[in-house]
Amino acid sequence: MDKSHLQQLVTIAGEKSILTAKSDILCYSYDSSLESQLQQYLPSAVFIPDKAEAIPPVMSFCHQHAIPVIPRGAGTGQAGGAVAKYGGLIIDLSRLNRIIEIDTDNLQVIVEPGVVHADLNQALAPLGFSFPPDPGSTKMATIAGMISYNASGMRAMKYGTTREYVLGLDVVLSDGREIRTGGVACRSLKTVSGYDLTKLFVGAEGTLGIITRARLKIMPLPEKKGIAIAAFNQLGDAGRAVVEVFRNKIVPSAIEILDKSAIKAACLYKPSIKLPTDVAAVLFFEVDGPAAAVSYQAQRVAEICAPIAAHVEWTDAPEQVKVLWEARGVVGAASGRVRPGATRVYIGEDICVPITNVGAALEGIQRIGEKYDTIIVTYGHVADGNFHSAPVIDLESEEEIRRVRLVANEIHELALMLNGTVTGEHGVGLVRDQYMEREHGAALEVMRTIKNALDPKNILNPGKMALGGR
């Protein structure tokens, strides 16, 4: 962006809303992905609107001058989606964080893009409701970030992903035009009127428009939760247990897995956690619903797992549920502990495979780690085959960085070989675009056609998702 454009932007947006000093914009040059931490993607400027109406004129100006625009929430993404690959203007939406309306009678809320997920659920909990998608980054991730990457987390198998809960969006298009998807005045929970543009903007990673408002479906909170834990000597047995539970007509609200390395990490992080350490994997089954169903289902899951598992327990006592669940809760933060002084990095961290390939995927990841002499802690959402593998490396070692990139590539290749996908919930961004052609074949051309139709100048988050660079 040249100086005169920048000057004009300041005039349009107001001086207080535009950051240009390097010290101010440095923290916008990366997200949680390893790649963006190794290579600095510095924007030319950052725009922090304090109201949604400030965005269209800025967008129009950028369109006129073909300046890249990159929407950004909390920067918790792990795919480099919210960094400026080709410079330009980052729009930081985090100040637009008002919950505009809570309408429990109609099972919906209206929010600004920068509302933090945990804040929304904190506001809903006393009313007995929740916005069910539940990413690990709940305390930081913004709603529009979740929408842009179709975040899901632990409860997607039973409750679906973010996409299923987005009823309508206000979007500023690449040329500054404003639209509302899902009907301009609509407040109903269902519609098949016209193309479902809402669902297209969900998961579009900011390449089709800037989300400035969202109408979301909410659900009554379940009455109660229960948990069953089962430990397995073979990874394949864990996969079989999951299949058996579904066969027995039980749909848990979450099924989480910790492999050997993740169990070790959790125990090192918090020695009070009691997990069997001599097993290949532990499964956590969460069940929810009316109290009577919860006890029954938790116990049934334990019974179903018993013949296959090395160890089983279950509870529906709230305090005990919390204790048992803790090991799963800490594993993300704990991953680094398996190697003192080293760092858990986000790369190749989000593959998703069919349930029957869960065992093969976990074994494959361990094998890849051994091949490249890299410690990998793996945990994830086994109900839908989505794993987060966490390499733990010395960030000062160029050799380890070289190796971890090979690790990530092989993990992605493994996912595709196992009829999976390179990303279950984190997105493509700039770190997984090289797999798009192979994963999607001719369909990638259709994605590019849509991108080109809605953003012919390719100014919205360019260089992401293999949709075309500059």
Closest of 99, 96, 93 to residue 129, by C-alpha: 99
CB of 273 to a second copy, least distance (A): 28
β-bridge pairing 219-220 and 129-130: antiparallel
SS3 assignment, position 468: coil
CB of 468 to a second copy, least distance (A): 13
Strand pairing partners for 140?
A: none
CB of 105 to a second copy, least distance (A): 5
Tokens found for residue 424:
């279950």
- 296 or 325: whose CB is closer to a second copy? 296
CB of 32 to a second copy, least distance (A): 16
Length of the chain: 470
- 26 or 127: whose CB is closer to a second copy? 127
- 143 or 204: whose CB is closer to a second copy? 204
CB of 467 to a second copy, least distance (A): 8
Please give the backbone phi and psi of residue 229, each rounded to the nearest 5 degrees, phi first.
Answer: -120, 135
CB of 145 to a second copy, least distance (A): 12
Are 221 and 289 contacting, i.e. CB atoms less than 8 angstroms apart?
Answer: no
- 39 or 106: whose CB is closer to a second copy? 106
DSSP string, 352-376: B--GGGHHHHHHHHHHHHHHTT-EE
CB of 152 to a second copy, least distance (A): 7
- The count of other CB atoms within 10 Å of the CB of residue 131 is 23
CB of 98 to a second copy, least distance (A): 21
β-bridge pairing 281-289 and 45-47: unpaired
Q: Where do runs of H (alpha helix) occur along 290-317? A: 291-305
CB of 201 to a second copy, least distance (A): 10
- 21 or 442: whose CB is closer to a second copy? 442
Helices 398-417 and 358-371, packing angle to 10 deg = 150
- 114 or 427: whose CB is closer to a second copy? 427
CB of 232 to a second copy, least distance (A): 17
SS3 assignment, position 161: coil
SS3 assignment, position 285: strand
Which single residue is written with the structure tokens 């073979």?
234
- 54 or 172: whose CB is closer to a second copy? 172
Burial 153-181 (b: 16+ CB within 10 A, else e): bbbbbbbebbbbbbbbbbbbbbbbebebb
CA distance 205 to 129: 28
CA distances from 86 to 156, 327, 347, 432 (A): 34, 41, 21, 17
- 26 or 219: whose CB is closer to a second copy? 219
- 273 or 281: whose CB is closer to a second copy? 281
- 109 or 275: whose CB is closer to a second copy? 109
Please give the backbone phi and psi of residue 393, each rounded to the nearest 5 degrees, phi first.
Answer: -130, 170
Q: Which residues contact 29 (CB under 8 A, 6 or more apart)?
A: 36, 40, 41, 42, 43, 83, 84
CB of 175 to a second copy, least distance (A): 11
Are 259 and 362 contacting, i.e. CB atoms less than 8 angstroms apart?
Answer: yes
CA distance 82 to 428: 11
CA distance 131 to 374: 37
- 259 or 316: whose CB is closer to a second copy? 316
